[in-house]
């Protein structure tokens, strides 16, 4: 018996375009070191541990719970407001306007939304620096998700309900393959974004795996060019 042919979902039916934020709309190495350091510093003070132990806890909780914050909430009763306020106090100035991405977003027919494990405040700052904020209808952040991070299916279900999105007519763009499993199961077309510079960020092997999984319909290392190509079809 021959193997089943994998058929990737297309975009002709897409009316809602959903984007992750960090490392999807911009290469995360431009800001990540700041966030990474603040997360580690927060854990060091919160749990009274060494920086090395804080680093281990950070990466362990991120892998197991979707975000370090969720792990700290579950394991240690963290107040999420304190954490979110602290870790996102960063300098966004390394980001510069991205006119190519803005032009590509402008050409997409339908709604554009952001779905992020970060905060709305952080998302707004990123979009403003990239000069793409006018293209997005709204941001569904970790607070809107009731602090339940991706890759939880519940997060996507809450997002779809909140914004009245038909999953079968939506596309999801993400930099982690595991975060595309749930939206694909719900009927969304999925795109894995693997921007240049990923190796400049500390990323574990599991974060870079999954590009060949069945729940990944498309892969690109240049989001702006990929979106522009869709408009030209």
What distance in Å separates the CA atoms of residue 8 and residue 201, rounded to the nearest whole number? 29
Q: Residue 140's Cα: distance from chain center in Å?
A: 11
pLDDT for 6 equals: 61
Say if residues 220 and 193 touch (Cβ distance below 8 Å): yes
Q: Residue 123 — pLDDT band, cuts 50, 70, 90?
A: very high
Condensed to tens digits (0 to 9), the pLDDT of residues 69-112 reads 999 999 999 999 999 989 989 999 999 999 999 999 999 999 99
Q: Is 131 exposed, middle or buried (0-12, 13-18, 19+ CB in 10 A)?
A: middle
How does strand 189-193 pair with strand 138-140?
A: unpaired
Q: How many domains does the chain have?
A: 2
Are 170 and 221 contained in the same domain?
yes
List the domain range (segments joined by +) for residue 145: 16-28+95-231
Q: What letter does residue 194 receive in the DSSP assignment?
A: -
What distance in Å separates the CA atoms of residue 121 and residue 124, rounded to the nearest whole number? 5
Are 130 and 40 contained in the same domain?
no
What distance in Å separates the CA atoms of residue 42 and residue 72, rounded to the nearest whole number? 11
Are 130 and 183 contained in the same domain?
yes
Condensed to tens digits (0 to 9), the pLDDT of residues 152-166 reads 999 999 999 999 999
- The pTM of the full predicted model, rounded to 2 decimals, is 0.88
The least confident of 27-36, 97-106, 217-226 is 27-36
Q: Residue 94's Cα: distance from chain center in Å?
A: 19
Are 107 and 205 contained in the same domain?
yes
């Amino acid at each position: 018996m021959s193997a089943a042919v994998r058929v990737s979902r297309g975009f002709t039916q897409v009316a809602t375009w959903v984007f992750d934020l960090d490392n999807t709309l911009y290469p995360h190495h431009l800001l990540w070191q700041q966030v990474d350091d603040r997360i580690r510093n927060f854990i060091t003070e919160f749990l009274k541990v060494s920086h090395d132990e804080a680093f281990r806890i950070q990466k362990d909780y991120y892998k197991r719970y979707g975000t370090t914050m969720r792990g700290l909430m579950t394991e240690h009763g963290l107040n999420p407001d304190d954490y979110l306020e602290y870790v996102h106090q960063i300098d966004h100035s390394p980001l510069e306007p991205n006119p190519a991405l803005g032009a590509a977003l402008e050409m997409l027919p339908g709604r554009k939304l952001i779905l992020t494990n970060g905060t709305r405040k952080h998302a707004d700052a990123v979009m403003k620096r990239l000069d793409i904020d006018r293209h997005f209808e709204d941001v569904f952040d970790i607070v809107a998700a009731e602090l339940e991070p991706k890759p939880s299916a519940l997060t996507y279900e809450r997002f779809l309900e909140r914004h009245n999105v038909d999953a079968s007519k939506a596309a999801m763009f993400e930099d982690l393959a595991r975060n595309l499993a749930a939206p694909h199961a719900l009927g969304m077309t999925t795109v894995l974004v693997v921007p240049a510079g990923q190796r400049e960020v500390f990323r574990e092997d599991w974060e870079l795996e999954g590009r060949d999984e069945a729940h990944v319909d498309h892969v690109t290392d240049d989001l702006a060019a990929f979106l522009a190509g869709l408009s030209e079809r």
